[in-house]
Amino acid sequence: MAQTPRYRFAPSPTGYFHVGGARTALYNWILALQSNGVFVLRIEDTDDSRNNPQWTQGILDALAWLGIDNKDSHFEGPFFQSANAALHVEAAEKLFAQGAAYYCDLSSEDIQKRAKESGKQGYDGYSRDRGLGPGEGRVLRFRVPEGATIVQDQVRGSVEFDNLTIEDFVLLRGNGSPVFLLANVVDDITQGITHVVRAEEHLPNAPKQQMIWRALGHEPPSWAHVPVLVNEQRKKLSKRRDKVAVEQYREEGILSAAMKNYLMTLGWAPTGDTEIVPFEKITAEFDLSSVNHSPAFFDIVKLHSFNADYIRAMPLDEFIRACEPWLTGEKAPWQASAFDAKVFAEIAPLVQTRVQLLQDVPSMVDFLFCDLPTIDDAAFAKAFAPEWASTTLIEIREGFKTCEFTPDALKAVVEAVGEKHSLKLGKMQAPLRVAVTGRSVGPPLFEPIAMLGRDATLKRIDVALAKKV
């Protein structure tokens, strides 16, 4: 009977959830779904100095937002690496007992001194045959065998490492705590992991981990090392330098479906003429062997474009529901009592076609729910700079006093004033839009003015004209 494929995603809770980690998680999730396998979530929480419960919860929340959680039978976890500490030490002791590892008492200063004297870099294997046992300050090192280690990688093919270039690496620190290499392998073995799909930055670890796997009596998993994500300077995305937190994009109003679709196009592409496709199509078509070897550019502008397409494709009622967190509660820029859900439902179709981020929705409709809009000074200066701006706005105001207050009638008034002054509708709208909404951009103008009502519109025009004077 064939073994059930078991994929794992093993983030460390040391900060916000990285978009690169999100893509790796999606890769593993999709492969688990394709094979009717298992996605194992393991939180590698052994770095006490950097771990934080809030980061752990952030990982869980972000994965759930992406559709990866225990609601699906393919999901297992979360498991915590710290719970396996005894197993890590036990494995280290086994490796020492069978001669695959040895203790070393050289300090970092000692190693540097020997390297300087020999003209060679790194640790030279000095303690290999000294027969040292465990002791205070002594590290346990793996005895790297002669020859070469070949890593069979689903993305990169056969990758050969000359073992002469790999120094005897540490398994246990001087205080007895296991390092990442050992803990990672022991956890994978214990949890029956068959496939390891991770970022290419871990490729140099693969031969070392493969050695540990075999020294512990197990065949290593199937490896796949995928290209990292880079910024516009083609530098690896950094938490310190770049906008990388999944949580931040979620807060801005990126849709989960848009984020998943976009991340999956970074280094891989579905069939057809468009990158914007249902997640079901991605799940059906994704293949590690077709992942590009080159780093993938994480383009925020393109992500926003993806999101705009997904927003426009939403059923209207779904769009309205998606906007609610930004229209009510703490995120709303107006008093809760001022918001009218019916009014927003009326203008929602106009907003839906023009917004890229859900966080931008309030700024497109806030004038409907505030007594007076906050006028953008730059927009005001530009709109009222022409000598005709105030004159035409006064005439528009006069027309608005008596016309039927419908979008078509309001537009007709503005067009008539424009014809009188030989001005096109677009120019005529500029000072009117700023006066009524406070901004130079927004949804089509006349429908919102009709919703606002005659008295409120005239009041805002008066305020703008007074500001001009």
**pTM assigned to the model:** 0.91
Mean pLDDT of 221-249: 93
Query: Which residue bears the tokens 């999901």?
Result: 75
Q: Would you state the pLDDT for residue 370?
A: 87
- The domains located in the chain, with CATH, are 377-468 (1.10.10.350)
Strands 170-172 and 157-162: unpaired
Give the C-alpha distances (Å, rounded to integers) separating 342 from 7, 37, 338, 339, 451. 47, 47, 12, 9, 11
Confidence of residue 292 (pLDDT cuts 50, 70, 90): very high
Q: Which residues contact 404 (CB under 8 A, 6 or more apart)?
A: none
Residues 279-303, mean pLDDT to the nearest whole number: 96
pLDDT confidence of residue 330: 84
Phi, psi of 139 (to 5 degrees): -95, 155
Task: Say whether pLDDT at 293 is over 80.
Answer: yes
pLDDT at 389 over 70: yes
Residue-wise pLDDT for 349-374, tens only, equals: 999 999 999 999 999 999 999 888 88
pLDDT > 90 in the chain, percent: 90
- Average pLDDT of the segment spanning 319-347: 92
Alpha helices in 271-406 (DSSP H): 279-285, 300-313, 316-327, 341-352, 361-365, 377-383, 389-402
Residue-wise pLDDT tens digits, 413-468: 999 999 999 999 999 999 999 999 999 998 999 999 999 999 999 999 999 999 86
113 tagged catalytic: no
Would the pLDDT of 469 be above 60?
no
pLDDT number for residue 148: 97
Pick the catalytic residue: 113, 116, 235, 239? Answer: 239
Residue 202 has pLDDT above 70, yes or no: yes
Q: How far is CA 55 from CA 44, 100, 168, 240, 300, in A?
A: 12, 36, 33, 16, 23
Average of per-residue pLDDT values in the chain: 94
Asked whether the predicted pLDDT for residue 240 surpasses 90, the reply is: no
The three-class DSSP label of residue 242 is: coil
* 51-100 pLDDT per residue, tens: 778 899 999 999 999 999 999 999 999 999 999 999 999 999 999 999 99
**31-48 per-position pLDDT tens digit:** 999 999 999 999 999 877
Q: In the predicted model, is pLDDT for residue 238 greater than 90?
A: no
Q: What is the pLDDT of residues 120-153, one digit of tens each?
A: 889 999 999 999 999 999 999 999 999 999 999 9
Across 228-232, 328-332, 397-401, least confident range: 328-332
